[in-house]
Amino acid sequence: VRCPPITSPMGGQSRRLPVVMSTSIEVDASVTPLAPIDWIAVGKYKLAVGIEFALIAASFRAVDALLTLPAAAVPPLFFFLSLRSRVFSPLDASRPDRSAQEGLPTPAEVVRPGWTPPGVAFPFIWLTISFLRATSSLFVWQASGRQLCATPLLLLVFHLCVGDAWNTITNVERRLGTSALGVLGVLASVFAAIGAYYRTRPLAGLLLLPSAVWLSIASVLTWSIWAINTPRQPLWPRQGDGKSSRLRLPLSQLGAA
């Protein structure tokens, strides 16, 4: 592109200066564009949470309509749900197989931060959290007219359902990016449950607080794992990645839970 002659303010004409403007853009052919977002997979996650929550809530309502549970039965019920709520899910929400992972918290091929807790610590952490959930739920149940179908208890159930969908994403489908995004929902739901428990009975909320502490650590760990495993996986599930789980009949794998 040539510029017109440049004239000085005092008259006269300067010489022409050729100006070359390049409009070419180099494209890296090695970069593969992302496939479209798999909205069907996203819908499955939401559907799974909704079905699981509806089944447990309906069971609670049926029990409340038929009888009042003895107080001694409430902690075992919530201890079971804390560890095995996934049997109500229409998705496979299995926990990781530690033996297949050689005792590691994640598959061997996944790079982990140096501060990752050892795999053997995870069962003890979850058992402790489950015990605290069961104890705090007893206090809330007593303060809610001895009804299972009470809002605070249902919020905890919803948190468990969200966590089960996250287990599907993390441990079964192994979508590191979607796992990092989904763990934020798990964290938000536990804070909602803690708030409801605390408003019902402060001690119950405090007993549930370690769940939020551990899930906050787990959130940082999940995002760190996503960040250091390159190339980074997309945050949203993508079509054609071959990772989507199939829907199943809830309670169909009760014995294998």
User: Do residues 172 and 94 lie in contact, with contact meaning Cβ atoms separated by under 8 Å?
Assistant: yes
**Distance separating alpha carbons of residues 177 and 165, to the nearest angstrom:** 14
CA 244 to chain centre: 15
More confident residue, 144 or 107: 144
Cross-strand partners of 37: 238
CB 40 within 8 A of CB 243: no
Amino acid 134: pLDDT: 98
Return the minimum-mean-pLDDT range out of 11-15, 36-40, 52-56.
11-15
Predicted pLDDT of residue 28: 44
Cβ proximity of 186 and 215 under 8 Å: yes
pLDDT above 60: residue 8 = no
Which of residues 108 and 98 earns the better pLDDT score?
Answer: 108
Report d(CA 130, CA 165) in Å as an integer: 18
Label residue 27 by pLDDT band (50, 70, 90). very low
Tell me how far apart the alpha carbons of residues 173 and 223 are, in angstroms, rounded to a whole number: 17
Backbone torsion region of residue 64, taken as left when φ is above 0, otherwise alpha when ψ lies between -120 and 50, otherwise beta: alpha
Rounded CA separation 231/235 (Å) = 12
- The share of the chain scoring above pLDDT 90, in percent, equals 71
CB 226, CB 179: distance < 8 Å:
yes
pLDDT over threshold 70, residue 105: no
Pick from 63-72, 157-166, 219-228, 245-254: least confident: 245-254
138-193 per-position pLDDT tens digit: 999 999 999 999 999 999 999 999 999 999 999 999 999 999 999 999 999 999 99
